[in-house]
Amino acid sequence: MELNAVEIRVLGALIEKDMSTPDYYPMSLNALVNACNQKTNREPVVAYDEQTAMEALDGLRVKGLVVFVHESGCRVEKYRHRLGEFFNFTRGELAVLAVLMLRGPQTMAELRERSARLHTFEDSSALEYTLHRMETREGGALARLMPRQSGLKEPRWAQLLGGEPELTADAGPVQAAPAAGVGLAERVENLESELRGLRAEFERFREQFQ
């Protein structure tokens, strides 16, 4: 299976929150959208709306990677990932994959530092073993060490849930750019319209004192 960029971000956010804040998991749609749109620990930063996230959740449910749950006493539907069960992942594998899904290709040092809040690897060898397990798994690789690119000191690891990452001559491997959030262009247009209205009101107000 191959996931699109929005599905990868949604699934990565679910995994991250499951591992870092289990008391607030499973997640509501609103909480999930906020997690996807975080301005920290996200590369690139996105601005998804609820419709965009919901379409991704529907796609992930069809693929068997997400389930919708109704908790007793709660009228809001919530969402839980099944990636660990689907691939029989260890906690370390889930942590590494989540960081790669949320922040793109990274070096070993970056992965060890950024995954620490989700899972603590004993040393670099433990992380390297985890990455190679994901690269050589029988069902197909889910991570790969990309060739070192010119201008970069170290090679980077990339997740393969979205297919093979693209390579650039100067910036190393990058995942395909995520699709723009549905409704984003409309929101920008509305904001611009409101700004024009505010400017017109200000001009009318200023004219009263001239």
Query: What are the pLDDT digits (tens) for 181-206?
Result: 444 555 555 555 555 555 655 555 55
**Does any domain span residue 188?**
no
Pairing label, strands 166-168, 157-159: unpaired
Question: What's the whole-number mean pLDDT along residues 78-89?
Answer: 95
pLDDT digits (tens, 9 = 90+) for 33-67: 999 999 999 999 999 999 999 999 999 999 999 99
**Does any domain span residue 32?**
yes
**Does any domain span residue 87?**
yes
H-helix or E-strand spanning residue 187:
helix 184-207
**Does any domain span residue 182?**
no
The CATH number of whichever domain residue 11 belongs to comes to 1.10.10.10
Residue 160 structural domain: 5-174
Output 164 or 150, whichever has higher pLDDT: 164
**Does any domain span residue 146?**
yes
- How far lies 127's CA from each of 90, 94, 113, 120, 139, in Å? 12, 12, 11, 9, 20
Query: According to the model, what pLDDT value does residue 172 have?
Result: 44
Query: What DSSP designation does 23 have?
Result: G
